[in-house]
Amino acid sequence: MNFKKLIPELVSRLKDTGFDKNPKEIQSASIPQIKSGADLYIVAPKGSGKSTAIVMGVIQQLKAPFEEAPRAIIMVATKEKAFELEEQFELLAKHTELRMFTVFDQGVIQYQRDIIFEGLDILIGTPKRLHELVKVDGVRLANLKMFVVDDVDTFTLVQYPLIYHVADSISKSQFILVANSWNKNFSKLSERIMKSPRIIKAD
């Protein structure tokens, strides 16, 4: 991975935390494509470093705090995964001062809405709660640059409308779908929300 092309604040944290010593194949392959702004499928087995690649890519794209509305939404299957991602963002975005917040189904929606409107850059959440927040205008989407769905292969067809509703509410964004393995149903997603998506795979 060419660290010279990453923002200095991210490079500093990668070195501090040791991520620079053994970058994973999927990270080296996907981060330049994330930087390009293209719609992407990122497909690699569990434990291959996909989620860290997403964290790094989002930090690289957003760089620093900006206004109040979120510029990246990351949808994840479970509350536990949401907080795992938040922890990684806090670790690697430490020098950027990017603001992040996690929402989940069991939380008080009005409290979550109030925190979002106070201002943040990255919103992480479960499908149902993100859908509910968008439906009640609890998330301003005007500044959104990135919509990421992690572990999308674990989503059922019943949950796809939740993805569609959020995506349909976005006027313009980079869409990134991340999975452990390819799923025949992905074509439904790409036809609905993506523009000429590129596919990045790693073993």
Domains of the chain: 3-201 (3.40.50.300)
Query: Can you give the pLDDT at residue 2?
Result: 64
Planar angle of CA 83, 56, 131, nearest 5 degrees: 45
Band of the pLDDT at 175, cuts 50, 70, 90? very high
Q: Where are the alpha helices (DSSP H) in the chain?
A: 8-17, 25-36, 50-62, 79-92, 109-118, 127-135, 160-168, 186-193
DSSP character at residue 181: S
Q: Are 126 and 91 in contact (CB under 8 A)?
A: no
Question: For residue 150, what are its two tokens?
Answer: 């992690």
Band of the pLDDT at 1, cuts 50, 70, 90? low
Calculate mean pLDDT across residues 117-141.
94
